[in-house]
Amino acid sequence: MYYNKVEICGINTAKLTVLKEKEKIELLKRIRQGDQQARQEMINGNLRLVLSVVQKFTNRGENLDDLFQVGCIGLIKAIDNFDPNQNVRFSTYGVPMIIGEIRRHLRDNNSVRVSRSLRDLAYKAMQAKETLINRNSKEPTVDEIAAEMGAKKEDVVLALEAIVEPMSLYEPVYSDGGDTIYVMDQVGDKGGESDWMDEIAIKEAMKSLGDREKRILTLRFFVGKTQMEVAKEIGISQAQVSRLEKGALDWIKKHI
């Protein structure tokens, strides 16, 4: 977000209302009674919250007006589902909802597209590979495939990599009884909007967890270590870390 930009979706961001937490709670209680005016005031009073979230996505080359509108949908969902009787700040609940809505938009509208020429080259490379396997009864090298096609090795590598389907973060890589470890469990979190969201949505809720669960979540989400690294530091198996982490996160979700 350009900090000198004051117009987004036709709204002068310099004039956006900022509500105090007490005012938000009062509006939310009125909303629960069916007060539509209070609902509109709550939306208008939290547009700065949407704006602050949108700023975290500025390096993606997306239209900021579009992201702001999508973020507003997440804000409205948060307003409609938030329970003012819970001892949680509205922003703690609202920010993850807004981020989730924007992420869904990015995921659904920004799938990787492979050019027709690159895709055709990849299919020719696969045909050449089949030909070489049938001829030599062994797996060919990239150099051999490129030579068979009369193409550059670099072009063949690029084409074949372009059509490989990305691996899901939820792809299981290990299972020990009921404790399944997924690809995402092998990846450390080194920064970005995920850390920022975790600081807001998790840090407050994890105060009621046990010492070991607190340490696991701190190492995983705030330090950025993988489950394997956490397991070595604490002295338990990765499967145990996975189980404790998932249990702690489930508890947090129920209390946010």
Mean pLDDT of 76-82: 90
> Within the chain, how many helices (H) and strands (E) appear?
12, 4
What is residue 58's DSSP assignment? G
- Listed in order, strand segments (DSSP E) in 102-167 are none
**Cα–Cα distances in Å, from 121 out to 127, 142, 144, 153, 166?**
10, 13, 15, 12, 19
DSSP structural state of residue 204: T
Task: Please give the pLDDT value at position 26.
Answer: 92
**pLDDT per residue as tens digits for the range 137-163:** 888 888 899 999 998 888 888 777 665
Task: State the first-to-last Cα distance of the chain, in angstroms, to the nearest integer.
Answer: 28
Strand pairing category for 7-8 and 11-12: antiparallel
Helix (H) / strand (E) containing 206: none
Structure tokens at 26: 């009062």
Distance, in Å, from the CA atom of 156 to the CA atom of 118, rounded to the nearest integer, reads 9
23 C-beta neighbours (distance < 10 Å), count: 14
d(CA 144, CA 146): 5
- Per-residue pLDDT, 148: 92
According to the model, what pLDDT value does residue 214 have? Answer: 85
The neighbouring-strand residues paired with 172 are 182
**Confidence band (pLDDT; 50, 70, 90) for 134?**
confident
pLDDT, mean of residues 116-139: 84
Give the residue with greater pLDDT, 26 vs 105.
26
Spatial contact of 5 and 54, defined as CB atoms under 8 Å apart: no
* pLDDT at site 19: 86
For residue 163 the two structure tokens come to 């059509």
3-state secondary structure 18-31: CCCHHHHHHHHHHH
- Average pLDDT of the chain to the nearest whole number: 76
Calculate mean pLDDT across residues 10-26: 78
Look at residue 3 in the predicted model and tell me its pLDDT: 38
C-alpha to C-alpha distance for 150 and 67, rounded to whole angstroms: 45
At 162 the pLDDT is 63
Instruction: Find how far residue 71's CA is from the centre of its chain.
Output: 14
Which domains are delineated in the chain? 7-109 (1.20.120.1810), 116-162 (1.10.10.10), 172-254 (1.10.10.10)
For 164-187, the pLDDT digits (tens) are 545 445 555 555 555 555 555 555
In terms of Cα–Cα distance, which of 176, 142, 136, 174 is closest to 160? 142
pLDDT of residue 125: 86
The predicted structure's pLDDT at residue 201: 56
pLDDT of residue 129: 86
The mean per-residue pLDDT over the stretch 196-221 comes to 72
pLDDT of residue 20: 87
Residue matched to tokens 């007490």: 22
- pLDDT classification of 9: cutoffs 50, 70, 90: low
Per-residue pLDDT, 79:
92
Task: State how far the Cα of 241 lies from the Cα of 176, in Å rounded to an integer.
Answer: 12
User: What mean pLDDT do residues 82-93 have?
Assistant: 82
249 — pLDDT class (breaks 50, 70, 90): confident
pLDDT digits (tens, 9 = 90+) for 188-207: 544 444 444 555 555 666 67
Average pLDDT score over residue span 83-112: 79
